[in-house]
Amino acid sequence: MNLFLQKAGAKQQKTGFVPTMGALHPGHISLVETAKQRGHLVICSIFVNPTQFNDAKDFQNYPITIESDIDQLEKAGCDVLFLPSVSEMYPNGLASKTHYELGYLETVLEGKYRPGHFQGVCQVVHRLLGIIPADFLYLGQKDFQQCMVIKKMIGLQGLKTTIVICPTLREPDGLAMSSRNMRLDEKARTRAVEISSTLNYIKTSLQPGDLSILKSNAIKKLNDAGFKTDYVEIADAETLALKDHWDGKTKLVALCAAFLGDVRLIDNMLL
């Protein structure tokens, strides 16, 4: 890895890093392409990080499609693929000595419903950035809260990497692209569109004032479509403070997480 980074440094070329857990789809590839278009040396990692799964079944069932991943990365012009083993990433075992002080961000939404998840994300991204101290880190907006958490971790650790957040890519019917979509059967895949429809419903119905009816209507829409909903929330897009009332000015984001069978999907939309 050092050799690649040194070569880029010698040419004064910036480095762009795309961390992934594999099962790549066009959303991931768009991150590689954006980094490429900016002239960066592009490094992608594929590592299904055990420490960020609060649900053992989710970890066991996480899709692995390495040959197709490599093929897509080659076609997109990715320069370096980092494919570490668990022992390479965690030579001293999975338990982390570092606790990341994420504060409020870890108490809401994904932080609340997936205890320990963001500590695991910080642990792996911190370690990855130790191995690949890239100038830019490319992340997808689909993981809205994760982007905020990683930004916070980078600040806490005083790292030099700048985050670039790229838009969520969607299927023609609106479903946000996600590796977990591969696990939906035909019936579930048809129903899954209701997540983005619900976010669109919030966006088009938003009015200044009380938000509680809008939120409960949105939850009902998902539950009626066969989801088991963890949350539908509207939050300040800068701080993620949850909102029950809108002043008509604050920039908001609607976020949701819901299960279809045993597949948990998340999505968000800036309002």
Contact in structure between 94 and 85 (CB atoms under 8 Å): no
Q: Which residues within the stretch 129-168 sit at the binding site for ligand PAF (CB under 6 A)? A: 143, 146
49 scored as a contact of ligand PAF (CB under 6 A): yes
Contacts 24+ apart (CB under 8 A), 3-7: 4/41, 4/43, 4/79, 4/80, 5/41, 5/132, 5/133, 7/41
Partners of 258 in the β-ladder? 229, 265
How many residues at the interface with ligand PAF, by CB under 6 A?
A: 10
Catalytic amino acids?
A: 28
Contact residue for ligand PAF among 5, 8, 17, 19 (CB under 6 A): 19
Smallest separation, CB 96 to ligand PAF (Å): 14
184 scored as a contact of ligand PAF (CB under 6 A): no
DSSP 54-122: SSHHHHHT----HHHHHHHHHHHT--EEE---HHHH-TT-S--S-----GGGGTSTHHHHSTTHHHHHH
- Among the residue ranges 3-11, 15-23, 218-226, 234-242, the one whose residues contact ligand PAF (CB under 6 A): 15-23
Phi-psi region of 80 (alpha: psi -120 to 50; beta: other; left: phi over 0): beta
**Of 16 and 19, which CB lies nearer to ligand PAF in the complex structure?**
19
Could you give the string, one character per residue 97-136, with x where binding to ligand PAF holds by CB under 6 A and - elsewhere?
Answer: ------------------------x--xx-----------
Contact residue for ligand PAF among 52, 145, 168, 229 (CB under 6 A): 52
**Of 94 and 241, which CB lies nearer to ligand PAF in the complex structure?**
94
DSSP three-state, residue 143: helix
- Among the residue ranges 3-11, 19-27, 160-168, 228-236, the one whose residues contact ligand PAF (CB under 6 A): 19-27
- In the structure encoding, which two tokens stand for residue 179, read together? 């590796």
23 scored as a contact of ligand PAF (CB under 6 A): no
- Return d(Cα 128, Cα 123) in angstroms, integer: 9
Smallest separation, CB 128 to ligand PAF (Å): 8
Contact residue for ligand PAF among 8, 17, 20, 166 (CB under 6 A): 20
Smallest separation, CB 27 to ligand PAF (Å): 10
Q: What are residue 266's phi and psi, to 5 degrees?
A: -125, 155
Residues making contact with ligand PAF (CB under 6 A): 19-21, 49, 52, 121, 124-125, 143, 146
